[in-house]
Structure 1
Amino acid sequence: MTLLPFAWAGLPEAAPDGLAVVDSAGRFVRINRAGARLFGRTETALIGTLSPFLFTPEVAPEPVGLFDDGPSEQVTPWALDEGPQREFAYRVQQAPGDPRLAVVTFRDVTEERRRQRRIVAVARSAAKLASQGSLSATLDALAREVLQTDALAGVQILTVDESGQGLRIMGSAGFQHWPDFFDRLLECRERGASLLMLDALTDSEPKVVAHRWETIQTDPAWEPLREYLGELHWDSFASVPLIIRGRAAGVLNAFFAPGQIVSTRTLEFLTAMAEQAAVAIDYAALMHRERDVVRRQERQRLARDLHDSIVQQVFSISMQAKSMEVLAQRSTSLPADAVQRIADEVGLLSRTVLADLQAMVHELRPLSTTQVGGLEEAVRALVDSTTNRTGLRFRLFMGQGLDGIEGEMAEDVYRIVAEAIHNVVKHAEAGKVEIRIGVRDQRLRASISDDGRGLTSPREDIPGHSTGYGLQTMTERAERWGGTVTVKPRKRSGTIVQVSVPLTAGLPRAGASVEITGTWTPPADTKGQAS
């Protein structure tokens, strides 16, 4: 094989990456054509100027090749005279024969590192969906991710309000809060300003305009918002719709710094982040609807319980009072035994009504699970109240880790336990109840078992799958946190309710399983409904 003559002296100029020689002070001594092009200056203009590369004469020669990737590669930013900041990855090695000089090879990794940051931002935003406490906090965090990942000037996330007629800012980064922002925006629209984000909403597709700020500065229609938009140092603009089930439910507005280009990859990243925002909005709406359903079902159960117990008992009291009235009309002297009998019945009914009302009040307003003692003390108070009211005997076992259960999760677990105890009191005809609650293997586990009537063999019409308000409510509360509720008969007699909720997620989520084995056969006077 015959090799063509090659001028080794011209190798630096032929290198595809930047190649430079710097002195101990970090100043350029030599630089090749590719390197000068990366810095946006001529080779002559760079010689003698300070480079961004770190070098000390004491640096030992690197064990790997100069152009190999390795842990010793460093990254430094560089602000061009015009345009956005760039990032250079570089490696340094002492020049042979002169320890005062170093040879540096470098390359532009701006786009590469931006892609990496975008991947991390999408993953981190997905994680934030499971860790933020509210929709506004989630969207604020997502807006910051977009801002920091692509070094944008500002980001807004706006959603369509409940009426479907207006917009509201639910997340932002880079902007100050202006309470009258939408009033000013509407004024701009009335003056004839073109609102691209409304076009993005209407057309359900991204809108991108280069040098948007230049247009706004010279357009008198934008005067009411010019000061607000002038807080940022920006140039181009993009608005990406948030699509939920084929419908635009909001927009993500991105304000780009001068020199930044809205490329196809940039738009793909903004679309991916808009999808994350749409998931958060859709999930929050789903949780809101589910909470409404649970509240409606609890109101229905309360109404049914009032009718089945308190209303009937109060009616009985009124009938006893009517009997006293009839007796008084018949004779001036009432038989003592009749008066005593009616008084005893009225007293018993009154005590029963009072006990039932106290039970309902305790269920509706339990000891706050956010107070000292939290979930554990709330359950203990419920057990004490039930014992005093019904005479039911309890064995209570509280495990470790309950002090870490708080907020909505603690409230939901308490309600599940309260509903299980309510079912025992109303239907089980039990004498003893055993409750175990604790944390094990990153899951909160609870069981409520009784020695009552128990479950019969499985049938198709299982209460709780559709008609049992209480069982359905218990399963929905567990499902919010990815948990399960299992209802099944005990080996000898009675029923056991088992609850398992994972503690790895910070926000409630939909989609979990529930298994109900057997059929709860209530007493005849409950008309076939199990709570």
Structure 2
Amino acid sequence: MTWPVPGERETVAPVTRRDGDLDAQLLEIFFDRVPMGIAVFDKDLRLQRCNRTWAGFFTHYLGVPAESVTPGKGMFELIPGQEEVTAPLLDAALAGQVVRQAAHRLCTEDIVTYWDVVFAPTFVDGEVTGFVDIVTDATERVRAYEQLEQRISGLTAIADAMTVQHPLEKTLRQVARSVRSATRAAAAAVIVWEDSDLLTLAHYGDDGLPAGYRAAVEATYALGARSLIRDVANDSRINVIRGFRTHALADPDYAPLHPMWDGVDYEDAVVVPLGSRGRCVGCVLLYVKAGREVDQDERTFLQAIADQAAVAVENAHLFQDAESHATLVERQRLSRELHDSVSQALFAMTLHASAVARELSSRGTPPTDPVAAGVAALGELTRGAKAEMRALIFELRPDALAAEGLVVALRRQAAALASREGLPIDVVGPARRLPLEASTEEHLYRLVLEALNNAAKHSGARGVEVLIEVSDTGGTPVLTVVVSDDGRGFDPLAVGPGHLGQATMRDRAAACGAEFEVSSAAGEGCTVTVRLPVGEPVAPPTA
């Protein structure tokens, strides 16, 4: 590295040709041209002379004006505020010792530098007259070592966090913290998207960003702001988006984030994709100052971090799948046991109650007789309990929904509810299975059950209809699910959006990207409507 020479002034005496004094000439050349900084000080710590390298260090790192690096200046005029860390070394040199110090740390205002220094005393007639200061810049070496330690520490911390006991969010926060620390980025975030919905955040962690940043990011996704980050991440390479902040501030889709970018000192964004099984599941996002370059060494580190984060995401998914499988196995076991024990017992009780009722009738016992009435009530109770048990067994077997589809599953549950509540429920829908994602099917199933339960318990209806159909009028097939009853109805504005489970139904509709509407009026029943774009047309509905 070539250091700047302070102005046009040289603090080194010019080399003059003196015949017969070759040693002196060589010494002058050595003093002037070596890459080490050399300076001579007297006992009062005042500079006597220095070479251009020594002066260049001060000008380059500490911002000391060139005219200040001149003979007569005191040591601590040149490096103010360093007495505590430097004076002990100088005292030892002035006591006649040669002092060597590796990576000596100097901190002037916001600048931290490191120096390999030697202070060697000078003598005249056996008396110390001053010292020679020989310095070599160790700043880059120390910073490289610190950066290596930070990277190793970061990778270790991430590895420690990658256990099944730690939530994935905690691991991702550790990833963001490690990346920010090791790269000295202004801020960092890790974003993981849903498998089936690339506009929905599944997991998130950040470091150096204000509270509420995640919510703002999710809000921007809801507005459709995806081109700047996700499209770059899908490129599968580490990319730097120049002027990211300026570009995003001009984009109304990023409006939720605009207030959080006031007064920040970053402009560009570095996007590191998270790859898992051949697909992009998210990215590590670094916010950096304008023009910041990412060298190959840093890219290698970032890729290693991203690989670890991707493994953490994959592990979390596998663990979740394993837990789901274990839950499914346990549900199936309970379902079998309930079917083989309680359900059979209820069936037997129903048969016995029917047999007793027939026997009483054959003997001429009137229905109003207490015994006959009790047997009839027992029969009703056992039939209702059987319906409840069928519904419970179906609920314990979520694979039935996956195996049979939304329409068939709703018909089963509607039949059980109708038997239990004595309320006629018709389910009309396509004979062919609807092309829905499993999560969407689950949300719609639960939403319709909520609407049916509301109608059965609160509406006073004489009948309920569930209509499921797909229309294809605008080029994109739209699934419409309508649950309507002929009950007493209500005023939606008077009772509020949370009435009768509306909030739960609305949340489920939003979770699968559907439109949700409730229409009702006093004495006119209630209609719940859900509309959702689907992948392909299906067959006409059948009862």
Superposition TM-score, scaled by structure 1 size? 0.50
Greater relative CO, 1 or 2 (CA 8 Å, sep 6+): 1
Task: Determine which structure has more spread, i.e. the larger CA radius of gyration.
Answer: 2
